Amino acid sequence: QVQLVQSGAEVKKPGASVKVSCKASGYTFNKYGISWVRQAPGQGLEWVGWIGTSNGDTKYAEKFQGRVTMTTDTSRSTAYMDLTSLRSDDTAMYFCARRSLDHWGQGTLVTVSS
Protein backbone atom coordinates (compact mmCIF):
# COMPACT_ATOMS: atom_id res chain seq x y z
CA GLN A 1 0.00 0.00 0.00
CA VAL A 2 1.11 3.58 -0.62
CA GLN A 3 2.92 5.05 2.38
CA LEU A 4 4.64 8.36 2.97
CA VAL A 5 6.67 8.49 6.17
CA GLN A 6 8.03 11.83 7.33
CA SER A 7 10.91 12.71 9.61
CA GLY A 8 10.38 13.64 13.24
CA ALA A 9 9.47 16.88 14.94
CA GLU A 10 11.91 19.77 14.88
CA VAL A 11 12.48 22.75 17.14
CA LYS A 12 14.40 25.63 15.58
CA LYS A 13 15.41 29.16 16.54
CA PRO A 14 14.34 32.15 14.44
CA GLY A 15 16.62 32.61 11.46
CA ALA A 16 17.58 28.95 11.29
CA SER A 17 16.73 26.42 8.58
CA VAL A 18 14.86 23.13 8.69
CA LYS A 19 14.91 20.14 6.34
CA VAL A 20 11.98 17.73 6.43
CA SER A 21 12.12 14.36 4.68
CA CYS A 22 9.36 12.22 3.21
CA LYS A 23 10.09 8.58 2.35
CA ALA A 24 7.70 6.93 -0.11
CA SER A 25 6.90 3.26 -0.50
CA GLY A 26 4.28 1.06 -2.14
CA TYR A 27 4.46 2.69 -5.57
CA THR A 28 6.96 3.76 -8.23
CA PHE A 29 8.43 6.93 -6.75
CA ASN A 30 9.28 8.72 -9.99
CA LYS A 31 5.77 8.32 -11.43
CA TYR A 32 4.19 10.83 -9.03
CA GLY A 33 5.40 14.22 -7.90
CA ILE A 34 5.45 15.23 -4.24
CA SER A 35 3.51 18.16 -2.79
CA TRP A 36 4.13 19.93 0.48
CA VAL A 37 1.33 21.49 2.53
CA ARG A 38 1.49 23.16 5.92
CA GLN A 39 -1.02 23.88 8.67
CA ALA A 40 -0.37 26.39 11.44
CA PRO A 41 -1.95 25.58 14.82
CA GLY A 42 -5.73 25.98 14.61
CA GLN A 43 -5.53 27.21 11.03
CA GLY A 44 -6.36 25.89 7.57
CA LEU A 45 -4.28 24.11 4.97
CA GLU A 46 -1.69 26.10 3.03
CA TRP A 47 0.02 24.80 -0.10
CA VAL A 48 3.81 25.26 -0.08
CA GLY A 49 4.75 23.75 -3.43
CA TRP A 50 5.47 20.57 -5.37
CA ILE A 51 8.34 18.81 -7.08
CA GLY A 52 8.29 16.49 -10.05
CA THR A 53 10.15 13.35 -9.09
CA SER A 54 10.98 12.34 -12.66
CA ASN A 55 12.55 15.62 -13.78
CA GLY A 56 13.03 17.76 -10.67
CA ASP A 57 10.68 20.49 -11.88
CA THR A 58 9.41 22.61 -9.00
CA LYS A 59 6.54 24.98 -8.39
CA TYR A 60 6.48 27.02 -5.21
CA ALA A 61 3.77 29.19 -3.72
CA GLU A 62 4.68 32.83 -4.20
CA LYS A 63 4.96 33.55 -0.47
CA PHE A 64 7.69 30.93 -0.05
CA GLN A 65 9.74 31.83 -3.12
CA GLY A 66 13.36 32.37 -2.12
CA ARG A 67 13.00 30.55 1.23
CA VAL A 68 11.97 27.05 0.20
CA THR A 69 13.84 24.41 -1.78
CA MET A 70 12.37 21.02 -2.65
CA THR A 71 14.58 18.15 -3.74
CA THR A 72 14.37 14.40 -4.20
CA ASP A 73 16.68 11.42 -3.92
CA THR A 74 15.21 8.82 -6.24
CA SER A 75 17.67 6.15 -5.05
CA ARG A 76 16.07 6.47 -1.60
CA SER A 77 12.50 7.24 -2.81
CA THR A 78 12.69 10.27 -0.58
CA ALA A 79 11.66 13.88 -1.02
CA TYR A 80 12.95 16.80 1.02
CA MET A 81 11.71 20.27 1.84
CA ASP A 82 14.22 22.85 3.05
CA LEU A 83 12.84 26.06 4.57
CA THR A 84 15.26 28.83 5.52
CA SER A 85 15.14 32.07 7.52
CA LEU A 86 12.55 30.59 9.86
CA ARG A 87 10.18 32.89 11.72
CA SER A 88 7.75 32.21 14.53
CA ASP A 89 4.86 32.17 12.06
CA ASP A 90 6.48 29.22 10.27
CA THR A 91 5.48 27.11 13.28
CA ALA A 92 3.20 24.51 11.72
CA MET A 93 2.60 20.90 10.86
CA TYR A 94 4.21 20.22 7.50
CA PHE A 95 2.71 17.44 5.37
CA CYS A 96 4.06 15.79 2.29
CA ALA A 97 1.67 14.12 -0.14
CA ARG A 98 1.75 12.73 -3.63
CA ARG A 99 1.40 15.65 -6.03
CA SER A 100 -2.23 14.68 -6.67
CA LEU A 101 -2.82 14.90 -2.88
CA ASP A 102 -4.36 11.43 -2.88
CA HIS A 103 -1.97 10.02 -0.28
CA TRP A 104 -0.47 11.99 2.61
CA GLY A 105 2.33 11.62 5.12
CA GLN A 106 1.67 11.77 8.84
CA GLY A 107 3.02 15.31 9.17
CA THR A 108 6.10 16.82 10.79
CA LEU A 109 5.70 19.48 13.47
CA VAL A 110 8.17 22.33 13.06
CA THR A 111 8.31 24.71 16.01
CA VAL A 112 10.18 27.99 15.69
CA SER A 113 10.91 29.55 19.05
CA SER A 114 13.69 31.50 20.67
Partner 1 sequence: SFELTQPPSVSASPGQTARITCSGDALSNQYAYWYQQKPGQAPVLVIYKDSERPPGIPERYSGSTSGTTVTLTISGVQAEDEADYYCQSADSSGTYVFGTGTTVTVL
Rounded Cα distance, 50 and 30, in Å: 13
Could you tell me which residues come within 8 angstroms of residue 63 by beta carbon, excluding any fewer than 6 positions away?
none
Minimum CB separation of residue 110 from partner 1 in Å reads 15
Instruction: Judge contact between 28 and 52, C-beta under 8 A.
Output: no
Q: Does 37 bind partner 1 (CB under 8 A)?
A: yes
Could you tell me which residues come within 8 angstroms of residue 70 by beta carbon, excluding any fewer than 6 positions away?
34, 36, 49, 50, 51, 58, 60, 79, 80, 81, 82
User: Considering beta carbons, is residue 13 or 42 the nearer one to partner 1?
Assistant: 42
Separation of first and last alpha carbons in the chain: 40
Minimum CB separation of residue 101 from partner 1 in Å reads 6
User: Considering beta carbons, is residue 13 or 55 the nearer one to partner 1?
Assistant: 55
User: Using CB under 8 A as the criterion, what x/- string covers residues 82-101 for binding partner 1?
Assistant: -------------x-x--xx
User: Considering beta carbons, is residue 89 or 102 the nearer one to partner 1?
Assistant: 102
User: Considering beta carbons, is residue 16 or 45 the nearer one to partner 1?
Assistant: 45
**Contact positions vs partner 1 (CB under 8 A):** 35, 37, 44-47, 50, 59, 61-62, 95, 97, 100-102, 104-107
